[in-house]
Copies of this chain bind each other. A is one copy, B any other.
């Protein structure tokens, strides 16, 4: 045990022995990246199959609090990047992890985050192969920020893209909406809310493989994270030039989430999710896609929530419980900062 400090100091970011000890003991002993160079060197036959493409994505995570019911910043960093790859049709292979740590951060907190990342990586079948650590002075960051990038392979013949959505397509989700946003809000404590809601934070790679096997003509998919279902639908409708209509009575929402939104004046359509996807499939593949999702724990609550329409292009509307219709616009300001 070379590392005896309970808290991170600026020396741990200085490029010398203290940094090497922190990296070896807290990070590489768990992630076990291949090799000793500053780069991972990787080979996968899948990348070289005719017609295969490489998928590459990145996300920074700044969630506050760092640990919350149902996850922590490490879990969300791995799941978020795995999901960005998966919803695009890629099989996730390798992740990088870069940490910006505030001076004074507890080393044990870093250890818990790293353990959480490794656990999720194993579940998702990916490896964390390279990384970086920087330390900034007290007050120049908030505990720890994590940036993960991911590389995966899109097998030949897969082409999930918003442009492919057509009027008549079914709009599906894999489960309840808004749990992540509600859990973070409650965990911040400043609302004095008492709730049992936990984040839906989970990897969706295996679910996507099952869906694509069952619904081979699936058009497009999004991870409904920041901005929630409403933002994901608006983005797809805009790119595809279709209208999208959802049914209020079909939306899977927990009573606790509905209640919290009512009290706080929030719209659950905009609440963030971290393990919830929205999928557009041709209508005749909707049942098969739903059945494939429901057969897995990540998709047990899968339902159809709406459909793509001929127009107006880019407009998302909701048929309300009372038989009316309202526009579901893109979020204008912020709903919750530092949700992921």
Contacts and interface: CB of A to CB of B under 8 A. Distances in A.
Contact of A334 (B14, B87, B97): B14
Contact of A332 (B16, B55, B223, B331): B16
A56 B85 contact: no
Interface stretch (A57-65, A256-264, A282-290, A301-309): A57-65
A42 B56 contact: yes
A100 B97 contact: no
A335 B14 contact: yes
Contacts of A163: 36
Contacts of A97: 58
Query: Dominant SS at the A interface?
Result: mixed
A272 B43 CA distance: 32
A339 to B, nearest CB: 8
Which size class do A's interface residues fall under? 35 or more
A142 interface: yes
Interface in A36-66: 36-44, 47-48, 53-62, 64
A143 to B, nearest CB: 9
A134 interface: yes
A149 interface: yes
Given A136-B338, A225-B15, A41 B154 contact: yes
A151 interface: yes
A317 interface: no
Interface string A253-275: 00000000000000000101000
A243 interface: no
B333 A36 contact: no
Interface string A95-110: 0111110000000000
A40 to B, nearest CB: 5
Nearest to A96: B58
Contact of A226 (B15, B53, B58, B140): B15
A27 interface: no
Interface in A281-340: 330-340
A330 B90 contact: no
A54 B38 contact: no
A151 B54 contact: yes
A36 B161 contact: yes
B53 A330 contact: no
B151 A142 contact: no
Given A16-B333, A19-B226, 10 more contacts: A16-B331, A19-B227, A38-B222, A39-B84, A54-B151, A58-B96, A135-B337, A136-B337, A140-B338, A141-B142
15 contacts: A13-B338, A14-B331, A15-B225, A15-B231, A15-B272, A16-B331, A16-B332, A38-B88, A42-B53, A54-B151, A57-B130, A58-B98, A62-B136, A136-B337, A147-B147
